[in-house]
A = this chain, B = another copy of it.
Amino acid sequence: MNLQEAIKSFYAWQSKLSAYNHAMSAIFYDAATVAPKKTAANRAHALGILSEETYNLTTNAQTVEMLEFLDAHKDELGEKEQRMVYLACHGMNEMKKIPIDEYIAYQELLVEADDVWHRAKEDSDFELFRPVLEKIFEYNKKFARYCAPEKYPYDYWLDQYEKGLSMEKCDEFFATLKARIVPLIRKIGEAEQVDDSCIHGDFDEASQERFSLELMKIMGIDLGICGLGTTEHPFTTSIGSHHDVRITTHYQRDNFASSMFSVIHEGGHALYDMHSEDEFAYTNLDGGVSMGIHESQSRFYENLLGRSEAFVNYVFPKVCECFPQQMKGYTASDLYKAINLVTPSLIRTEADEVTYCLHVMVRYELEKRVMSGELEVKDLPLEWNRLYKEYLGVTVPNDREGVLQDSHWSGGSIGYFPSYALGSAYGAHLLHKMRESVDVEKCLADGNFEPVNEWNREHIWKYGCLKNPGDLLREALGEEFDPMCFIDYLERKYSKIYNI
């Protein structure tokens, strides 16, 4: 083997892997959006085989030989190929540690789990979901032990979603947030409450969909390569490369703001996914580098921009165009207050910015304890409800609005949730930095996202997975990340809204 040939094979191998990913993403997207309800077993059959093919392609002797050869010659490679080889070797080494039978069985389990979770949520029946959730936690523990026996299993998974993250760091981060967010929530609770009646009413789905597409356009999302679907739980996925991205939302007939901010949130993910360097397509550098950075973008658009006064002033006439009857008598200021109402609530995806992190902390606490063996899956609903009472002061009326609300666990994502809180905080620091060179207020007031997008593209998006998330963030910020930016932002914004 010579180096040129090895590099050529390496690109062909990545391209092939991307085709399998394309197929599996298309099947998953179809499953979540339009597939008939009783087709999960049929899907599991195909996905089981496709995962086996992917497993083999990642770990077979030819691949190992190619990757080891490239790794041995890494000093002769450019930055881009060096990183590709590093990521591919890392992926191969992890994959090889997981027995193929267990790997396939787990992929099939996830297809089943998605189906069972949907039904369990519909019927608010945790017992239906419990057996598959137990298996999912078991697999996550087992895989972590295979791949990193020296680590606590939960630390392994935290690090998977955000390189360098650990329980120790999370504990510290959440303690920092809690120390100032909990008093802020108390003060807000004692202040005069805002009226959010303008976002409630009867909003037909077709108008909400029209408004969603309008929002995507305002954000500068190219609808020619980004689709919009409807699902139980909103999400974003690429299909094969950054040349085809899909976001989904969930329409609530009685509250248009729910889908509005889901669309802006997922739109933030989509912008990130869609703007990797073109040459990264069909390689492992394509798309977002970590869930923390991903959420920094989604929550940036959703909250820092989407819930800002300047943006609400800009978008209010468009809201009125889509919902003329319902908006009668309301002003932009009413809408701004309504979408920034701070109140302890049940559903994470609809929580305000201030209480949001407490929702994440509940999940973090529970995952940590189940992964350590301290808590059993069967006791999750009770503990969930207890922590919601303790952290947020709310009583969970049923599991649908409690432990069954999110799709992450059924999707096998354990250790993902902290990314949301981290991402929110990254975003605030990034905005602080962006303001040095971009007049963000003016962009929002004009509904012109291009300068903001351009900054994100230059500092975050275009790099795809080229840099470690830590380096990427540090270089974008020009300094070490500091969660205080986020806390300061929250205190400043909400003190003004609540006159405290």
Once bound together, how far apart are the Cα atoms of A382 and B132, in whole Å?
62
Q: How far is the CA of A241 from the CA of B42 in the complex (A)?
A: 7
Interface pair B241/A16, CB less than 8 Å apart: no
B-contact 0/1 string along A125-156, CB 8 Å cutoff: 00000000000000000000000000000000
Query: Within 8 Å of chain B (Cβ to Cβ): is A68?
Result: no
When distances are taken between beta carbons in the complex, the residues of chain B under 8 Å from A42 are: 22, 225, 239-241, 243-244, 281
B34/A240 in contact, CB under 8 A: no
User: Is the CB of A483 closer than 8 A to any CB of chain B?
Assistant: no
Please, which residues of chain B bring their CB within 8 A of the CB of A281? 42
Give Cα A34–Cα B386 distance, bound, in whole angstroms. 42
Q: For chain A, residues 3 to 57, give those with C-beta under 8 angstroms from any C-beta of chain B.
A: 15-16, 18-19, 22-24, 26-27, 29-30, 33-39, 41-43, 45-46, 48-50, 53
Give min CB distance, A267 to chain B, whole Å: 14
- Asked if residues A46 and B18 are in contact (CB atoms below 8 Å), the reply is yes
A361 close to chain B: CB less than 8 A: no
Residue on B nearest A282 in the bound complex, by CB: B45
Q: Which residues of B contact A223 (CB under 8 A)?
A: 36
Q: A33 to B224, alpha carbons, bound, how many Å?
A: 14
Picked from B19, B35, B49, the residue with its CB within 8 Å of the CB of A19 is B49
8 Å CB interface, A324-357 against B: none
Could you say which residues of chain B place their CB within 8 Å of the CB of A282? 45
**In the complex, what residue of chain B is closest to A224 when comparing beta carbons?**
B38
**Contact between chains at A45 and B30 (CB < 8 Å):** no
Q: Does A227 contact B (CB under 8 A)?
A: yes
* A31 CB, min distance to chain B CBs, angstroms: 9
Say yes or no: B229 contacts A36, CB within 8 Å: no
A226 at the interface (CB under 8 A from B): yes
Min C-beta distance of A358 to chain B, whole Å: 36
In the complex formed, the residue of B with least CB distance to A50 is B19
Which of chain A's residues 216-266 have a Cβ closer than 8 Å to chain B? 222-227, 229, 239-241, 243-244, 246
* Contact in complex: B225, A49 (CB < 8 Å): no
Alpha-carbon gap, A34 to B45, bound state (A): 24
Report chain B residues within 8 Å CB of A16: 49, 53
In the complex, residue of chain B having the shortest beta-carbon distance to the beta carbon of A21: B46
Q: Is the CB of A45 within 8 A of B240?
A: yes
| B residues near A224, Cβ cutoff 8 Å | 36-39
CB distance from A38 to the nearest CB of B (A): 4
Closest CB in chain B relative to A208 CB, distance in Å = 14
The answer for the CA separation of A175 and B243 in the assembled complex, in Å, is 51
Would you give the shortest CB distance from A350 to chain B, in whole angstroms? Answer: 26
Contacts A22-B27, A22-B46, A23-B50: A38 and B225 contacting too (C-beta < 8 A)? yes
Residue of chain B at shortest CB distance from A39: B244
Given A223-B36, A225-B38, A244-B36, the answer on whether A29 and B27 have CB atoms closer than 8 Å is no
**Other-chain contact of A36, B30, B37, B225 (Cβ < 8 Å):** B225
Residues of B close to A244: CB separation below 8 A: 35-36, 39, 42-43
Measured in the bound complex, the distance between the Cα atoms of B16 and A45 in whole Å is: 9
Please state if B35 and A240 are interface contacts (CB–CB under 8 Å): no
Q: What are 25 inter-chain pairs, A to B, with CB distance below 8 A? A: A15-B45, A18-B45, A19-B45, A19-B48, A22-B27, A22-B46, A23-B26, A23-B50, A26-B26, A26-B30, A30-B239, A33-B34, A35-B227, A36-B224, A36-B225, A36-B246, A38-B222, A39-B243, A42-B240, A42-B241, A42-B244, A42-B281, A45-B241, A46-B240, A53-B53
A-B contact sample (8 more), CB < 8 A, given A36-B224, A36-B226? A22-B27, A22-B46, A23-B24, A23-B46, A34-B227, A35-B227, A42-B243, A45-B282
